[in-house]
Amino acid sequence: MPTLHLKISPLQNPPRYRALAQALTRLSTEHLGKRAEVTAVVIEDLPAARWYVGGQDVQRPTAFLEISITQGTNSGAEKAAFIAAAFADLQDQLGAGQPLEPASYVVVRELPATDWGYGGQTQAARQAARRAAETPPPATALLSI
């Protein structure tokens, strides 16, 4: 159940937002094994006049992507693969023939299962319910009469 928060500059046309959301959902499924049906993507665009690197106006397309996942659900290699693939996709979609601002970031934030959730349940509670549903009931002894 990842959530992805993408901030971008410059402003994009409406179809680009859907393409970005679809690509980020696909990448979180492919590289992190997350379920697409519970992946949420929020995209914010910021005018270039409100984005600075090193205290200077940014002159190139810029992105900041943060994905929140449950702590311990992915390896370092999986997270590295996601970061590389997400940056490459952002470059392809936002670059418009020029490189992204080098200070464009992809951040993987791991949260303890007790500290977040959806549908009114923490991830820890959802995991416990799944384990309980998968555990077969104990065998009962047959009594002889």
Residue 143 confidence (pLDDT) = 56
Q: Measuring CA to CA, which residue among 16, 40, 36 is closest to residue 27?
A: 36
pLDDT at 145: 54
Backbone angles phi, psi at 25, to 5 degrees: -65, -45
Question: Mean pLDDT, 10 residues at a time, over the chain (145 residues)?
Answer: 93 93 98 96 90 91 96 97 97 90 96 89 85 76 55
Supply 53's token pair: 């690197």
Question: Residue 47: its pLDDT value, please?
Answer: 85
pLDDT in the model for residue 138: 67
Instruction: Name, in order, each residue with C-beta under 8 angstroms of 78's C-beta and a sequence gap of 6 or more.
Output: 31, 32, 33
Contact 103, 52 (CB under 8 A): no
CB 60 within 8 A of CB 100: yes
CA distance 107 to 99: 19
Helix (H) or strand (E) holding 16: helix 14-32
Contacts of 79 (CB under 8 A, 6+ apart): 32, 108
Q: Which CATH architecture has domain 3-118?
A: 2-Layer Sandwich (3.30)
Domain ranges of the chain: 3-118
pTM of the shown model: 0.85
